[in-house]
Structure 1
Amino acid sequence: MNFSKRVMDAVLSFLAVLVFMLPMAIVAILIKLDSKGPVIFKQKRLGKNKVVFNIYKFRTMRTDTPNVSTEDLGDPSLYITKLGKFLRKSSLDELPQLFNILVGHMSIVGPRPALYNQYVLIAMRDEVGANSIRPGLTGYAQVRGRDFISDQEKVGYDKYYVEHMSLWLDVKIICWTAKSVVRSEGVRVD
């Protein structure tokens, strides 16, 4: 499964980069017009076997935002740019992760990559084997609540995914993700 999953990830992410190249260029221009700072936000995350890599996202927050998880910001709305709210709600901010998938840091489907300093979450994921596979652009936890479920619930969903990994489950998660993105479900933008 690992080799075929990696091949599928590489092919699909390459095709997605081609399809979304123009929308990504437009988003990049809009970000530059909306606020000062870089277009791309880089953040240290844990990959397969807890190897640290830089995840790429379109920047949705001001450049003076503390580098912590959104839940730890107190009131995240104080830091989100005008355009950032739309990018988060539409999940367009995640498009640069196609490059993370293309180079092999991530998979299309898998547990979302933890911040390098989310020690409790990392330890819980170790217990269920979630750190031994490539993290994903989307995952079972994302289609089950995303920003509105606890770390314990996320790890439970990650465990389910690790134990039931298959091409069919990946296809279902991708379809559920598309539905969630269209409906803007499970996204905290305030």
Structure 2
Amino acid sequence: MKRLLDVVLSLAALLLLSPVLLAAALAIALESGLPVLFRQTRLGLHGREFGMLKFRSMVKNAAAIGPYFTADNDPRITRVGRFIRRTSIDELPQIINVLKGDMSLVGPRPDVPAQRALYSDADWVQRCSVRPGITGLAQALLRSAATPQQRLEMDLRYTREASVWFDLRIMVWTVGRLSGKGSN
């Protein structure tokens, strides 16, 4: 049921959001050139690697300039990038990851391989027992203001309580937080 919901809602989102996707791609290309998409290795279901898509919100070769995470006022973030991050438009290409089956609409956010070291073995196995999501409980409630410990607690809570109804509630909460405090 969850996978069917992911596919149906993702196809509808692609159709409805196509003007936003095109506008974002054009704005990125005009400001800082091609490519407009950024692919980053992330860890998904059972810890398997996949290429997660995002609109490029940083200067080209940003990974060579700084760490995998961003800080407040990170100079690598472009002007358009600040806007698409604040509004979460940068995450919309992950709809393609959902259609491919790498991700779900709702689940713990996928980690980069370096973050694996932050977890105990038991927490890691539990966290990776579900597909990662475009949004999750931590993002719906705290956005990027969540501490690593809060994020872990909410991710593990999600794995214990996962259901279609919980996913729908998280989606509603996420929409309510889209331009709220904690976005970067």
1:132 Cα deviation after fit: 1.3
Match of 2:30 among 26, 33, 38: 33
Query: Residue 174 in 1 paired to residue 168 in 2?
Result: no
Query: Residue 113 in 1 paired to residue 110 in 2?
Result: yes
Unaligned residue ranges in structure 1 (runs of 5+): none
Change (3 A) 1:155 1:96: same
After TM superposition, the structure 1 = structure 2 runs for residues 101-140 of structure 1, keeping only pairs within 5 Å, are 101-123=98-120, 126-127=123-124, 129-140=126-137
1:126 Cα deviation after fit: 3.5
Unaligned residue ranges in structure 2 (runs of 5+): none
Query: Residue 184 in 1 paired to residue 180 in 2?
Result: yes
Aligned amino acid, residue 138 of structure 2? A
Is contact 2:42-2:51 (8 Å) kept?
yes
Counterpart CA distance in 2 for 1:79 and 1:37 is 16
Query: Residue 164 in 1 paired to residue 166 in 2?
Result: no
State the TM-score, normalized to the length of structure 2.
Answer: 0.92
Output the aligned Cα RMSD: 1.8
Q: Which residue is 1:69 aligned to?
A: 68
Identity fraction in percent: 38
Counterpart CA distance in 2 for 1:29 and 1:125 is 44
Q: Which moved more, 1:34-43 or 1:83-92?
A: 34-43
State the TM-score, normalized to the length of structure 1.
Answer: 0.89
Equivalenced residue count is: 182
Aligned amino acid, residue 94 of structure 2? Q
CA deviations 1:38-73 (Å, max 9, x no partner) are 1001000001001100000000000131263224xx
1:118 Cα deviation after fit: 1.2
Match of 1:142 among 139, 143, 147: 139
Aligned amino acid, residue 183 of structure 2? V
